Amino acid sequence: MQLFTRLDHTPLIAAAEASSVALHVQTACIWEVLSRKLGNVHRYQDFADTTLADFLLSAAACAGPLSQSTLPLGQRIYQAVAATRRIVRVNTNLGIILLLAPLTGLDYSSRWENELGKVLQAADLADARDVYAAIRLAQPSGLGQVPREDVRGEPTLRLQQVMALAADYDLIARQYVTDYADVRQFGLPVLIEAWERWGCVEAAVLECQLHWLAQYGDSAIARKNGPAAAQWVQQQAQEVLNLGGLSSAAGRRAAAQLDRRLRLPDNRFNPGTTADLITACLFVALRTQVLRPDSPFVWAQSLGVELASL
Q: What is the CATH number of domain 11-287?
A: 1.10.4200.10
For the chain, give the percent of residues with pLDDT over 90: 84
pLDDT of residue 150: 84
pLDDT average, residue stretch 229-242: 97
| Secondary structure, 3-state, 140-197 | CCCCCCCCCCCCCCCCCCCHHHHHHHHCCCCHHHHHHHCCCHHHHHHHHHHHHHHHHH
Q: For residue 304, name the pLDDT band (cuts at 50, 70, 90).
A: very low
pLDDT of residue 206: 97
pLDDT average, residue stretch 207-214: 98
For the chain, give the percent of residues with pLDDT over 70: 93
Spatial distance between the Cα atoms of 254 and 176, rounded to a whole number of angstroms: 34
Q: For residue 306, name the pLDDT band (cuts at 50, 70, 90).
A: low
Spatial distance between the Cα atoms of 285 and 88, rounded to a whole number of angstroms: 27
pLDDT of residue 308: 47
Q: For residue 140, name the pLDDT band (cuts at 50, 70, 90).
A: confident
pLDDT of residue 104: 96
pLDDT of residue 16: 81
> Tens of pLDDT along 48-92?
999 999 999 999 999 999 999 999 999 999 999 999 999 999 999
List C-alpha distances in Å: 22 to 39, 174, 247: 27, 25, 34
Q: For residue 110, name the pLDDT band (cuts at 50, 70, 90).
A: confident
Q: Is the pLDDT of residue 305 over 80?
A: no
Find out whether 279 and 28 touch, Cβ atoms under 8 Å: yes
Q: What angle do CA 226, 228, 232 make, to 5 degrees?
A: 125
pLDDT average, residue stretch 122-127: 97
List C-alpha distances in Å: 193 to 5, 205, 213, 218, 290: 50, 11, 17, 22, 11
Domain boundaries, the chain: 11-287
Mean pLDDT of the chain: 92
